[in-house]
């Protein structure tokens, strides 16, 4: 390997953890690891990316204070054009989705996102990702050095500290066609699901809105906090403050009881570190069973009814 480029991600002045996970993924491939920081003040982020295994930090200073797809693409493209990297890695995040596929299209590079395992087969990179609702996995190969967006939490964040050389790189001036307006925090809800010890979490499996009441009552009886997966928020049935997952809250209760949740990758990212995960779903192939400690393939309404009956007190 002649070199791996990691594009670091930051938000509101802070490095985001998945960037350090991407560093771990890059180290696993072998070869020198360069980290590219595209920012208004990239030097401010150098200490945060100076972790073990980073051989070099590249600083691309840009006028934009916040993420701009055109500006970030031009900066990354200019670095990629100037050297022969074997791969470009970044975390699979919303910002990455906004410009790194464009980099692959522009440069004729390989591309895959949601990569959760990587290996080097000689000079060839082979990535593993999922298809069809995570029910099958596949190794994919690339016709050119690939841009790889790695699944958050698939690698441990690189730690330790190092003192790599820091290089300034030219970021071409572009007339960005987007302008930053503002960040808006999600409205806080009536409960904080991140502080609950017992979460009763429901998903698409509950079928219809009127059924929420069944689980609200059950949660109350069990002393649990009711949380939900994304489809129930999309449907407008529950507020986003109750949503577990990448676009909602990351939770780590002592017990996570998932009823009728199939386990989309984005949902799993928000709850897989829970102490004990119990899942009930009628589909035995549901991805939720792969992170659950206890599982039952059953009708969730029948189980809910029995739970209500058997819960002590």
Partner 1 sequence: MDIAVCVKHVATLGDEVELNDDATDVDPDYLEWTINEWDTYAVEEALRLREVAGGGEVVLVTVGDGGADESLRRGLAMGADRAVRIDPGEGAGILDPLTVAQALALAIDDVHPDLVLAGVQSSDAVQAATGTMVGQLLGLPTVAVVKRIELDPGAGRARVHRELEGGLVHVMEVATPAVLTVQTGINEPRYANLRAIKQAREKEIAVRDLDAGTRGCCRVERMFTPPAGETAEALGDDPAEIARRIVEIVTARLS
Smallest separation, CB 90 to partner 1 (Å): 12
Based on CB atoms, which residue is closest to partner 1, 31 or 133? 133
Smallest separation, CB 170 to partner 1 (Å): 21
Based on CB atoms, which residue is closest to partner 1, 164 or 231? 231
Binders of partner 1 among 36-75, rule CB under 8 A?
Answer: 66-67, 69-70, 73
Neighbours of 6 (CB within 10 A): 31
Closest listed residue to residue 281, CA positions, set 272, 289, 273:
289
Smallest separation, CB 199 to partner 1 (Å): 11
- Please identify which residue in 30, 65, 119, 126 interacts with partner 1, judged by CB under 8 A: 126
- Please identify which residue in 265, 268, 271, 272 interacts with partner 1, judged by CB under 8 A: 265
| Residues 244, 266 contacting (CB under 8 angstroms) | no
How many chain residues touch partner 1 (CB under 8 A)? 102
User: From CA 228, how far away is CA 208, in angstroms rounded?
Assistant: 13
Q: Which residues, in sequence order, are CB contacts of 91 under 8 Å at separation 6+?
A: 9, 16, 18, 19, 21, 22, 149, 150, 152
| Residues 227, 253 contacting (CB under 8 angstroms) | no
Examine residue 143 and tell whether it contacts partner 1 (CB under 8 A). Answer: yes
User: From CA 36, how far away is CA 30, in angstroms rounded?
Assistant: 17
Examine residue 14 and tell whether it contacts partner 1 (CB under 8 A). Answer: no
Binders of partner 1 among 168-207, rule CB under 8 A?
Answer: 177-186, 197-198
| Residues 93, 153 contacting (CB under 8 angstroms) | no
- Please identify which residue in 63, 141, 156, 159 interacts with partner 1, judged by CB under 8 A: 141
Examine residue 238 and tell whether it contacts partner 1 (CB under 8 A). Answer: no
């Amino acid at each position: 390997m002649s070199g791996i480029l990691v594009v670091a991600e930051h938000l509101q002045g802070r490095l985001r953890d998945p960037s350090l996970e991407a560093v771990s993924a890059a180290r696993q491939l072998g070869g020198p690891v360069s980290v590219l920081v595209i920012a208004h003040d990239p030097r401010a982020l150098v200490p945060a990316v100076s972790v073990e295994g980073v051989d070099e930090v590249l600083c691309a200073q840009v006028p934009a204070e916040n993420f701009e797809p055109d500006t970030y693409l031009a900066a990354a493209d200019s670095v990629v054009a100037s050297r022969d990297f074997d791969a470009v890695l970044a975390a699979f995040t919303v910002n990455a989705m906004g410009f790194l596929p464009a980099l692959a299209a522009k440069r004729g590079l390989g591309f895959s996102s949601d990569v959760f395992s990587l290996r080097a087969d000689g000079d060839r990179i082979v990535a593993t990702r999922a298809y069809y609702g995570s029910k099958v996995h596949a190794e994919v190969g690339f016709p050119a050095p690939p841009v790889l967006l790695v699944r958050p939490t698939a690698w441990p964040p690189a730690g330790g500290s190092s003192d790599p050389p820091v290089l300034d790189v030219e970021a071409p001036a572009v007339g960005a066609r987007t302008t930053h307006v503002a960040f808006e925090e999600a409205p806080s809800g009536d409960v904080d699901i991140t502080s609950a010890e017992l979460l009763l979490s429901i998903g698409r499996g509950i079928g219809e809105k009127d059924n929420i009441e069944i689980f609200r009552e059950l949660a109350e009886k069990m002393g649990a906090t009711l949380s939900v997966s994304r489809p129930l928020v999309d449907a407008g049935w529950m507020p986003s403050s109750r949503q577990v997952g990448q676009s909602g809250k990351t939770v780590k209760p002592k017990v996570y009881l998932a009823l009728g949740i199939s386990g989309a990758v984005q949902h799993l990212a928000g709850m897989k570190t829970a102490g004990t995960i119990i899942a009930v779903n009628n589909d035995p192939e549901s991805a939720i069973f792969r992170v659950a400690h206890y599982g039952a393939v059953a009708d969730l309404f029948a189980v809910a009814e029995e739970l209500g009956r058997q819960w002590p007190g």
